[in-house]
A and B are shown apart, each in its own frame.
Chain A
Amino acid sequence: MLPPFRRCPLEIRTHRTRNRACGVIGRLGAGFRGAGGLPPSSAVGFPRGADMKMGEVIGGVIVLLFGALTIVLSLQLPIGTFRMAGSGLFPMWLGIVLILLSLLHLGNLRLKGGSRLEGEEKAEPPSEATKQMMLFLGASVLATVCLDILGFPLTAFLLMLLLLRILGVRGPAMLVAMPLLTALAAYFLFVRFLKIPLPKGLIGL
């Protein structure tokens, strides 16, 4: 009877080749991190990289596409020679290096599998918190849109009001007093004290 062995992220038919492949995979997978090879747990339950953490792969692909885009755009610039480099040469090489690194990263993910990726989130953030974060960012985006129209003091007041509300501040006194004080303090600090012009908007302050 053949001895049991670790499951390996590649589809390998025979026990001999399978064991050999696992050794190589362990070495490559750990190569850049110095993680000491794949722990047995990393291979268990991972047949062929199929359940590889999707976010990691998407991240790698985005970086790869960014590298490709850089090369395409660089080729539209003068490349020159190594002796007299044009403005496109350096970014083009950077694009090539980025593609190579992202390919290595993706290959590493493929070999390592999905169970022990660095920085992997064990638990997804609660949807309510994510919604809160999106609202927070959305309010900041809205304030940026309104800055030139409403001017700094009013925008600052409204932004603070919105952000405090999003973070669960309920008391009407706090909701009005805090934004008012902050907007006035920021206005006096930047405009009056530091003499830095801020958007005046329709109010003209």
Chain B
Amino acid sequence: MFESLQHLFAGFGIATTVANLLYCLLGAVAGTLVGILPGLGPIEGIALLIPVTFGLSPTSAIIMLCGIYYGAMYGGSTTSILLNVPGETASVITCIDGYQMAKKGRAGPALAICAIGSFIGGTLSIFAMVFLAPPLATAALAFGPPEFFSLMVCGFIVLSNVTGASLLKSLMMAVVGLIIGTVGLDPVTGDYRFTFDSTYLLSGIEFVAVAIGLFGIAEVLANVDQPLDKLEQSVIVPRFRDLFPSLQDLKQSVGAILRGSGIGFGVGLVPGPAPVIATYASYMTEKKVSQHPEEFGKGTIEGVAGPETANNAACQSAFIPLFVLGIPFAPPTAILLGALMIHGVVPGPMMMSEHPDVFWGVIASMYIGNFILLLLNLPFVPFFASILRIPKKILLPLVMLFCITGMYTVNNAIGDIWLMLAMGALGFVMRKRAYEAAPLLLALVIGPKMEVAFRQSLMLSHGDFGVFVERPFSLAFLTATVLFLLMPFFQFAVRRLRGRRPEGGMG
């Protein structure tokens, strides 16, 4: 415990240099802006701004990208409250009571409580992470290739099952992502695969191009694919003096904030779109424990405080599996994994010993980032909200230009722009047909790791697949996977039984 604190203090030494403070601030501001803009979320924000970090040291780069991530989670609530349009998926729940509060002229307190709750949830989550990460990393050192493979399979299935679309479609997209991930150099034998004698494909498919294409370009195209008059929306910007919540508001929110922190932290540790699940779980919990559940949906402050706190707590604790296991459980952390690898940092159990400056520097910067975001979001909410007044007919071309420019800067290759545009078109079609892009991206990023784990496991066992069920942790992960796969059947069976009961009674 004391060792962790010691490392954390050293991390603060790194995070508080002028340069790193500046990058943390830049990341937080950029993230807030990205989160505020409807349609753009942390995934698009990080993917778009990765190229900007190329000239930076790994620590500064990751500090900035993490700032974008949690900044976007903060910013996402603003449009939910002011426009009833979630800035990103995790803010959908905030729309329910947040927008109702805004309609009653209480947008200020709703936005303020979001900022306060997000700060508390995020900070408590980071605090727990400091003490949980080291023992988890030690435990993860005992993981061999079979455990990692089973864990990744489990992650895919859980993510595919909770993304909202059809499980089959999500699984198909995950497998497509895994296949795309095999293009290039075979990580074990060094053979070239599916390169078709193209030098561009030798180093594999550029994941930044896929990420920007599937999320950024597809979002722009989806926005353009609607009548011009539907592109614009009116927004009410709250005044500074209306921002402060009353003592009663704060009293009502304390419990929700604390519960949201716990829920968010726990949910962030498991595979899936943690912030989305955490907000939903928190909202349901608040409704359940409330003495006035009928007030939910009509603009109660607990309905805003709980989910927004859980949202940020989950987004912070989602860093634990990324840093400790080297496995991202959600798309934003998958992109961060890619960014870490671009900067030469391989996350995993050894990260703490091999790159302590990055690990502890980034964790320390999260405290600072959360504080910056609190300062930014309280007094500057009217300013950020006024960004929403930029007409989309100007914003969308700007985003497209930024995507093309940013993409080119990754490898100075026009081929990357072609790939990005192709992926954008694909992402647009996928949206139209309700195919999830998140499993594809996640699979693309961790596919090579998964393949190595799979092949190493079979080498260890001399070709015996029993290795995946003989080892307890691996067996546990696979059992969880099977249970998740069978869950819809169980749910169906339960519904069938419930449905039959009245018939039986009548008969």
Are B393 and A159 in contact, CB atoms less than 8 angstroms apart?
no
Are A90 and B455 in contact, CB atoms less than 8 angstroms apart?
yes
Task: Convert A67-111 into 0s and 1s, putting 1 for each residue whose CB lies closer than 8 angstroms to a CB of B.
Answer: 100100100011001111111111100110110011011001000
Chain B residues within 8 Å of A204, by CB: none
A1-53 interface with B by 8 A CB criterion:
27, 30-37
Q: What's the nearest-Cβ distance from chain A to residue B149, in Å?
A: 11
Are B405 and A186 in contact, CB atoms less than 8 angstroms apart?
yes
Total number of B residues with any Cβ neighbor in A under 8 Å: 71
Stretch in contact with the other chain, from B273-281, B303-311, B360-368, B457-465: B457-465
Are B417 and A85 in contact, CB atoms less than 8 angstroms apart?
no
Q: Find B182's partner among A94, A102, A148, A168 (CB 8 Å cutoff).
A: A94
Q: Find B492's partner among A37, A84, A129 (CB 8 Å cutoff).
A: A37
- Bound together, the chains give a CA A136 to CA B226 distance in angstroms of 12
Task: Convert A133-145 into 0s and 1s, putting 1 for each residue whose CB lies closer than 8 angstroms to a CB of B.
Answer: 1001100110110
Are B433 and A167 in contact, CB atoms less than 8 angstroms apart?
no
Chain B residues within 8 Å of A104, by CB: 168
Q: What's the nearest-Cβ distance from chain A to residue B506, in Å?
A: 15
Q: Find A133's partner among B166, B191, B224, B409 (CB 8 Å cutoff).
A: B224
Q: What's the nearest-Cβ distance from chain A to residue B357, in Å?
A: 23
Are A163 and B227 in contact, CB atoms less than 8 angstroms apart?
no
With most chain A CB atoms within 10 A of its CB, the pick from B175, B191, B408, B424 is B175
B359-378 interface with A by 8 A CB criterion:
none
Are B394 and A169 in contact, CB atoms less than 8 angstroms apart?
yes
Supposing A141-B421, A169-B393, A190-B405 touch, asked if A136 and B400 sit within 8 A by C-beta, the answer is yes
- Bound together, the chains give a CA A73 to CA B193 distance in angstroms of 9
Q: What's the nearest-Cβ distance from chain B to residue A120, in Å?
A: 8
Q: Find A198's partner among B191, B409, B428 (CB 8 Å cutoff).
A: B409
Q: What's the nearest-Cβ distance from chain A to residue B190, in Å?
A: 9
Q: Find B489's partner among A31, A101, A141, A196 (CB 8 Å cutoff).
A: A31
Q: What's the nearest-Cβ distance from chain A to residue B444, in Å?
A: 12
Chain B residues within 8 Å of A172, by CB: none
The binding surface of chain A is classed by DSSP as helix
* Interface residue B105 (Cβ < 8 Å from any Cβ of A): no
Supposing A90-B455, A140-B400 touch, asked if A83 and B462 sit within 8 A by C-beta, the answer is yes
Q: What's the nearest-Cβ distance from chain A to residue B413, in Å?
A: 11
Chain B residues within 8 Å of A102, by CB: 172
Q: Which residue from chain A places its CB closest to the CB of B196 in the assembled complex?
A: A73
- Bound together, the chains give a CA A158 to CA B296 distance in angstroms of 50
Q: Find B459's partner among A30, A37, A83, A163 (CB 8 Å cutoff).
A: A83
Chain A residues within 8 Å of B23, by CB: none
Q: Which residue from chain A places its CB closest to the CB of B175 in the assembled complex?
A: A98
Are A136 and B221 in contact, CB atoms less than 8 angstroms apart?
yes
Chain B residues within 8 Å of A182, by CB: 398, 401
* Interface residue B491 (Cβ < 8 Å from any Cβ of A): yes
B165-190 interface with A by 8 A CB criterion:
165-169, 171-172, 175-176, 178-179, 182, 186, 188-189
Are B224 and A136 in contact, CB atoms less than 8 angstroms apart?
yes
Q: Find B408's partner among A37, A85, A88, A198 (CB 8 Å cutoff).
A: A198
* Interface residue B325 (Cβ < 8 Å from any Cβ of A): no
Are A196 and B434 in contact, CB atoms less than 8 angstroms apart?
no
Report, nearest first, the 5 A-B pairs whose CB atoms are least far apart: A119-B434, A34-B488, A163-B397, A83-B463, A82-B463
